[in-house]
Structures are given as C-alpha cells and as structure tokens.
Structure 1
C-alpha cells in the first residue's frame, strides 16, 4: 500500500465511523466515496459492511432502552429487509465502479435535499405497517447491492414524530443486522481475501475511534442541530462526489 492509498483508506474510515456514531447510519455513504477510488466495488462493499456492522454495535448499546420499548416497530423494517438482501447481493456483481459512485452521490443529494425540506413535510403520526414493510424490503435490496441499507428507512423514519433516540433505535439495529447478514453472504462467495482482511484490520480501529467521537457529538446535539448537521454533510458530500464523476 502506498502512502496515498493509506491516506484515502483512513479518511474513508474516519468519515464513515464518525457518521455511524453521530447518526446511526452513513458509514457506506461517506466511506465509499473514498474507498471506490482505490478498490473495486465488490471489495469496497465487502470492507464497508463489516466496519458498519461492528461500529454500529456501539450505537445499538446507546439506544438499547428505546429498542426494547418498541420491538415490533423494528421488526416491521428488519424482517422484510432480510428477504431483500439476496436480490441486492445478486445485483452487486453487475455494477460498475462509476455507476456505483453516481448512485451513492444521488442518494446523498436526495437525502440532503429531503432534510432541507423536512420542516415543510407532514409528520406521519398514524401507523403505516405496509409502508414500513416495503421500506424495509427496499432497504435490504440496497444493502445487498451497495451497502446503503439505511438510506430509505432513514428518510421514512425522519418523517415520524419520534425523538432522535427512537429513530436511532430503528435505524441502528436495522443496519447492523442487515449488514451482518450481507457480510455472511459475501464471505460465502469468497470475497474476504487476505488483501481485503488486511484493509479491514487497517480501517477498523480508526472507524471505532471516530464512531465514539460521533456518539459524543450526538449526545450533545439538539434535534434541530442534528438535522442541520446532516443536511450540510450529506448534501455537500453528494455534490462533490457527483461533480467528480460527471465533470472531472
């Protein structure tokens, strides 16, 4: 590994870990923008799903009380997602690196725009079990294909009138469980070569440390500050990644 390679590798680990600790998701959204510059898509996804799942365990512990208070809510998202994962994993082999980058950039921009408009959106207070199931299923497909399992559930949960701890109590265990299954599927396919495991050993300590920093910030943010920070980080990152692929 060259110095430039290591720097990009660790920048992705730091960005992804911090967002995981801060928001309970986002490791893939931020880390993949870096790692797809130095790894093929299959290898980048193989690395990101492992670090996402392992660092996410810290966040699960953080909101464990909210998880046990609403177990059925989580199940409506998680169980359908498990059915969608094989479809996503099957699609992974057919994706090109530039296509995957554009998909990630598009989700970042859409998500940033979504939160920009969130104040004007209605709060969905009534139960929506069917939509929850569909969102979970789609999240499983995206998770298997690009490790972006949390994007759609996050957009949907953000419309619910839940405190940030309850929102995280859905998103964090959802992502951890989905990505753990994806990791197993990728391992069966033989994706975890010696080189991939070396990359994992390099990035994991950095990701864990920055996830802890993200958790510290999460605890200190108000709901409004939390939303504004997400807007700035996601929208800016998506625009930069899109410009890199389309313009440069």
Structure 2
C-alpha cells in the first residue's frame, strides 16, 4: 500500500513535469527497502514512462539537443553503477542539494537568467554528471534538467528532450545493473505488480501538463527540480 502510493505520486509528478520520478520515489522507498533493490526497479519504471511520453511528444523531439548528453552519460552510468554500495552517498547528496538550490534561486530571482543560453556543446559534460548520478543514486535528473532548461526551448521541446535523454540513460542503467547482478526475479515481480499504478499516475500527470502554458511549465520545472533535490537531501538525516 505504502509503496503503491509513493510510486503513484512520483509517476504523477513525472507525467506532469517530465522528470523527478526517481528523485521522489527512491528516498522514500529506501526507508523500508535496501537501496540496491530499489534502484534497478525504478530504472525499469523510468524507462517505461520515458518511452511512452517520448512517443506522445515525438513530433517535438530533436536529437541534436540530447546527443551530447547521451555520449557523456554512457561512461558515467557504468561508473556510477560500479560505485553503487561503496561510494559515500551523504556528501554527494548535500552537494547536489546545494548546487540545485542555487541554480533554482538564480532562475527564479535573477532578471538576467533567461539571457543565459547553453549550446549543445555542453551536453557531454552534463551527460557525464547525469550518468554517474543515475548509476549511483538513480538520480540523473538534475544535470539533464538544468542543461535542457538552459537551451531555452519551448515546453514540448523541453519535455521531449528530457524523455529522450532519460530513456537512453535508463536503458544503459538497466544494462549496467544487469551486468552487476542487481536485476533479480523479485525486481521483475515488483515491476509487474506496480506497473498499472505507475502508468495511471503518469497518465493523470500528462493530462494536467497539456493544460499548462510555456511559462507555467518552466516555473513548474524549477519548482519540482528543487523539491526533488530536497527529497534526495532529506535522506541524509
């Protein structure tokens, strides 16, 4: 029951914002389950939702926006998965929270923020950071969201770019977790059990997303980016 509610809410937010499923669900699920069991399960759910939403937004997807992210993310994912269970999480979570909080405050409060634009050449660097966080914490979202937001594109282009990047990363996360023996029969049973709950939450979130304008969506992205980082940070205590 508890697990289902967490997954439903996280899937709803993902359907609405296009990210934050892992960053919301992993810290809460880890209160009752080992981290090594949760991360591979969330990767399976993430890949499923990303594939569905990318299909829905396929007309707005541009490969160039995410190609560099994917190139940088692949080695980062395997490094993060290899470090799972051995790398100290707490300092990384604190640093992640501080960086994201600073970025969100700058985006919301600075009148010059919208003038700053990144080119696609920055993709590999952000991808490497996203891949490492994804393989280790199942939290590739922050670097990806920050990078895509700084491209300054419309809401459909932004959300489709997020899905394309996350889908590719999720595939390699699943591959890495399988190679390191983290995908078990229990993981697959839990995936099939909770899949209807996750898909229902995602569908409701996507329905609400369609009612948002560009400005409202971009503000929502920064709000959920901050909240997802806060959820990850709270696991430190």
TM-score computed with the length of structure 1 as normaliser: 0.83
- In structure 2, C-alpha distance between the alignment counterparts of 1:134 and 1:47, rounded to whole Å: 27
- In structure 2, C-alpha distance between the alignment counterparts of 1:216 and 1:230, rounded to whole Å: 16
Do structure 1's residue 85 and structure 2's residue 77 form an aligned pair? yes
* Residues 59 and 33 of structure 1: CA distance in aligned 2, closer, same or farther (over 3 Å): same
**Where do 5+ consecutive residues of structure 1 fail to align?**
1-5
- In structure 1, C-alpha distance between the alignment counterparts of 2:118 and 2:78, rounded to whole Å: 31
Superposed CA deviations along residues 38-81 of structure 1, whole A, max 9, x for unmatched, are 111111101110101101112101221122xx322221211221
* Residues 34 and 74 of structure 1: CA distance in aligned 2, closer, same or farther (over 3 Å): same
Q: Given that residues 118 and 147 in structure 2 are in contact (C-alpha distance below 8 angstroms), is that contact kept between their aligned partners in structure 1?
A: no
Superposed CA deviations along residues 86-131 of structure 1, whole A, max 9, x for unmatched, are 11111113146xx36x7557646753553343142143346351x2
Matches within 5 A, 1:63-142: 63-67=57-61, 70-95=62-87, 99=89, 103=92, 107=96, 110-111=99-100, 114-119=103-108, 120=110, 121-125=113-117, 127-129=119-121, 131-142=122-133
Give 1:163's aligned residue.
154
Do structure 1's residue 11 and structure 2's residue 5 form an aligned pair? yes
Cα distance, 1:230 vs structure 2: 3.9
Do structure 1's residue 188 and structure 2's residue 179 form an aligned pair? yes
- In structure 2, C-alpha distance between the alignment counterparts of 1:203 and 1:43, rounded to whole Å: 15
Cα distance, 1:206 vs structure 2: 0.8
SS of residue in 2 equivalent to 1:220: coil
Cα RMSD (Å): 2.5
Cα distance, 1:32 vs structure 2: 0.8
Out of 18, 38, 41, the residue aligned to residue 44 of structure 1 is 38
Q: Given that residues 76 and 128 in structure 2 are in contact (C-alpha distance below 8 angstroms), is that contact kept between their aligned partners in structure 1?
A: yes
Q: Given that residues 139 and 152 in structure 1 are in contact (C-alpha distance below 8 angstroms), is that contact kept between their aligned partners in structure 2?
A: yes
Q: Given that residues 105 and 237 in structure 1 are in contact (C-alpha distance below 8 angstroms), is that contact kept between their aligned partners in structure 2?
A: no
TM-score computed with the length of structure 2 as normaliser: 0.86
Superposed CA deviations along residues 201-244 of structure 1, whole A, max 9, x for unmatched, are 22221111111111111111122322343444454565466457
- In structure 1, C-alpha distance between the alignment counterparts of 2:100 and 2:198, rounded to whole Å: 23
- In structure 1, C-alpha distance between the alignment counterparts of 2:23 and 2:135, rounded to whole Å: 14
Aligned length: 234
Cα distance, 1:162 vs structure 2: 0.5
Q: Given that residues 75 and 131 in structure 2 are in contact (C-alpha distance below 8 angstroms), is that contact kept between their aligned partners in structure 1?
A: yes
* Residues 45 and 105 of structure 1: CA distance in aligned 2, closer, same or farther (over 3 Å): farther
